[in-house]
Chain A
Amino acid sequence: MDTARRHRNLESALESVGLKDGRYPFQAPNRPLPNRIEPERQQAFVALEGVSKHFPGVVALDGVSLNLNPGEVHVLLGENGAGKSTLISLLSGMQQPDQGRLVIDGVPQRLSSPRDALQRGVGTVYQHTTLVPGLSIVDNLILGAAWWSRPKRLDVRARVSAMCDRMGMDLPFDATLSSLSLGQRQLVGIIKALWRSNRLLILDEPTSMLGSDEIDQLYKAVVRLRDVGTAILFITHKLDEAIRFGDRISVLKAGRLAGQLAPVELKSLERPILIERIISLMFDTTASPSFSTPSARPATLRGPIVLRVQDIRAAASPDEPRLEGITFSLSAGEILGIAGVEGNGQKQLAEVLAGQRRFLAGSIELEGTPIHSLGVRARQKLGLRYLSDDRLGEGSLPNFPIELNLLLKRIGEPPFWRCGWQRASAIEAHARALIDHYQIRAGGPRSRLSQLSGGNIQKLLLARELDGAPKVVIYNKPTYGLDLQSIRNARSAILAQAERGVAGLLISTDLEELLELSDRIAVMYRGRLVGILEGPGLSRRRLGELMVGREHAQ
């Protein structure tokens, strides 16, 4: 152990003079074989080199390079939609990169299928485990193989028990899976992944369903695996976990690698400083091309107040916090940003305002008229519009033609329907006008929505919400997952509305976007508005702190 520590010191010394990643000019002679394989010293098991993956109108990954070293827990940190899932599917052979390459053991490789990935030693434990609850652990492990090549149960048991011993797990092999705790099931998932592949273990948000005891158990298992030389990719969006589990932390943001904290830094830095570093990686984008200062937007003249929201409360649901005491007002032509880490109540707030969700108490006034007891349709007619963040699951019908998707919220209204009868020409003309005006690239009004690219679908939804005379528009993550061009389009559409005097409520997890578009920014944390910032008090750092609830901890 002593040698190892000395080795580490040497390493940090080397790193400080710019010699990195194990390319040593010399090597300690006659080193005893360490019981812990030193990661930096040897070649990465899997290396991603400039990997990109595009979907129509959307960038999932953009030039990401990562090294996954043996004996190292590599934490990948990022918001939902940052590209984590795409990265997993590339590593597990489900998808191929458009650009860049995968290098395994120094040799460029193609993982053409999940089976291929498994054979090369890449095992994945998905967030929702793929185990059969009615079967025992042993049966679950045998399950994949065909009957003629199935190993003997006793052999399997022996192997599993050896594996468990090595990892310090204690599992009842013959109990059915449904009788195990979620934490134990997670361990079984790991065993199953390691069964055939033991060189790289990918854990996709493994703690999302676990209690703290179970997380401890998982931690022990992960550490043991690392110590025998397994490379581990640990995916999470929780800061604390990243620091606890990680030997190395990479931050993924909008498909790009925003930065990395090397083992040396993780070991040497104090916890608060580490958190600071990570926050700045996650929320600062000094390198972003669309960089702008908070005052970049010409301040609009504050018009009269159009939307007044007072003391809104709503019940919690399984994966959302309850809303409490939400109060704010919106003036004509103003854009109020709502910042916050995903899942802190933003979506509920949007749905309560739109009329889609029941709430317990509070009042909502649109131009002085109470609207909180009105339905979705009535609010929509009064000029309150809601651009959903779930474009395909909630905002549109992919199998329906474009022209009907554009009128989804106005079914039955003249002139498109007369006495309930559809007027095909009016509907088509309406669609043509919007397609022209918003430059939606589409086959025609009658082609299906699913044939559009992501960016064009968003244009269509914006066109629908902004059509007519909107007074207040709730934009829920309007550019989430879009490519640069589409992002610019959406943002300029939002700004153009503000200039016309339309008030906007901009919900986003992208600080850059909030700073570029908003007059004021409110931060949501655990179902509350923890502060509304404007003018000189508005800084990225301050927003970042509020977003992770540090204000509250003190």
Chain B
Amino acid sequence: MSSPGPAEDTRFSSIGRGLLQALFPLLLALLTAALLLELLDRDPISFYADVLSRGLFSPLGLEATISRCAPLLLLAASLIVAFRAGLWNLGVDGQFLLAAISAAALGPPLAARIPTGMTLLICMLAGMLVAALWSAVPALLKARQGTNEIITTLMMNFLGVSLANALIKLVLRDPSTTVPQTLTLATDDRLPRLFGSTIHLGVVIGLLCVIAVHVIMTRTAFGLKLRVLGESRRVARHAGLPVERLTLLAFGLSAGLAGLAGAVEVLGVAGNVRTDWNPAYGLLVIPLVFLARFHGITVIFFIFFFAILSIGGETAARKSDLPNYFVLVFVALTLLFMPLTELLGRRLPSLRSRPV
């Protein structure tokens, strides 16, 4: 995990620069993946055409793409808070899943008693709270003992996924279904759709959150404190910042946003949680957040791009008789080329973009 990049980049021009720095690895990944497709005896051009026509140019596909952005944006917001504060919260998937379960458990019974708006709000808040509480273990260990949060958050992931499954099977199981799953939230009680499409309000929530996080991190005293903490805990201590409290706050905020992602996914799309459902969006968003160098606006573009790729890629892969994982291969390639381009940029000074 390299340094977070320009920590003081707040101006708009940096978005363009960030995109540019990230486009090159994307291009290389596209070419390499094309080569790979060629080797597998598939036509790369028609594969990419399929990706675009399904993910971007067909109305239904575009709606699916945009809907997919909702949890990804919230997870990006979550990760940016943590990473900028120097806390490697890799447990977002566990936090996501437990929040999803909480929303799924509360949703149907509440919807029968109180108005939909209230239900949705309570479910989202509950999801955030549960996720934040779940992260309290690694957060406290980090703040008090300095335990490496990479390890603890990753381990909490396994526990979280198992706990979610156990809860579905033992406590929350819908007795009327054969596959273990929670009660399903009625379509009418879910997050409102926008403009008569299948796109739900969660996308707007996600966009607002990621922008809010960006503004907080770059324009407020609280955000600056987190960034100082992220840059060096020693300097933070020397500057008299409450290192423990900031660690707990950053963890809580990050996990809360990951929890909101889980709640939104259940309230907006799934309506319930089945056993063994673990989309692991968090692991997919981590590279995107790095690609965007923790920049909250830049990351929106990458998420949109990735959503196209994952929605369109599913169809394209099916058509070309390739496993769904091919999209992951592409993401992995992008990640491999990222440090490589950075290295090249440093080796060739003429290519280096000078900071203003």
Which residues of A are in contact with B by a Cβ distance under 8 Å?
354-356, 375-380, 386, 388, 393-397, 399-401, 404, 408-409, 411-412, 417, 420-422, 446, 448
Contact = CB atoms under 8 A, between A and B. Distances in A.
B234 A393 contact: yes
A133 to B, nearest CB: 21
A377 B237 CA distance: 10
Contacts of A446: 8, 356
Contacts of B224: 404, 411, 422
B221 A412 contact: yes
Nearest to B11: A446
Contacts of B225: 411-412
The 4 closest A-B pairs by CB, nearest first: A376-B240, A377-B240, A412-B221, A417-B221
Contacts of B221: 411-412, 417, 420-422
Interface in B230-259: 231-232, 234-235, 237-242
Contacts of A421: 219-221
B8 A356 contact: no
Contacts of A412: 221-222, 225
B238 A388 contact: yes
Given A394-B234, A394-B235, A355 B240 contact: yes
B239 A411 contact: yes
Contacts of A411: 221, 224-225, 228, 239, 241
B240 A409 contact: yes
Given A420-B222, A448-B355, 14 more contacts: A354-B238, A355-B240, A356-B238, A393-B235, A400-B8, A408-B228, A409-B239, A409-B240, A411-B228, A411-B239, A412-B221, A420-B220, A420-B221, A448-B8
Given A400-B7, A400-B8, A401-B8, A356 B237 contact: yes
A399 B220 contact: no
Interface residues of B, number: 23
A356 B239 CA distance: 9
Nearest to A354: B238
18 contacts: A356-B237, A375-B242, A376-B238, A377-B240, A380-B240, A386-B238, A393-B232, A397-B7, A397-B235, A399-B3, A399-B6, A399-B231, A400-B7, A400-B228, A401-B8, A408-B239, A409-B240, A420-B222
B8 A376 contact: no
A386 B6 CA distance: 28
A399 B238 contact: no
A396 B7 CA distance: 14
Nearest to B225: A411
A195 B222 CA distance: 56
Contacts of B3: 399
Contacts of A379: 240
Interface string B91-102: 000000000000
A265 to B, nearest CB: 44
Given A356-B238, A380-B240, A397 B232 contact: yes
A75 to B, nearest CB: 34
Contacts of A354: 238
B239 A400 contact: no
B238 A395 contact: yes
A16 B6 CA distance: 63
Contacts of A380: 240
B235 A395 contact: yes
B237 to A, nearest CB: 6
A378 B242 CA distance: 12
A394 B238 contact: yes
Nearest to B234: A394
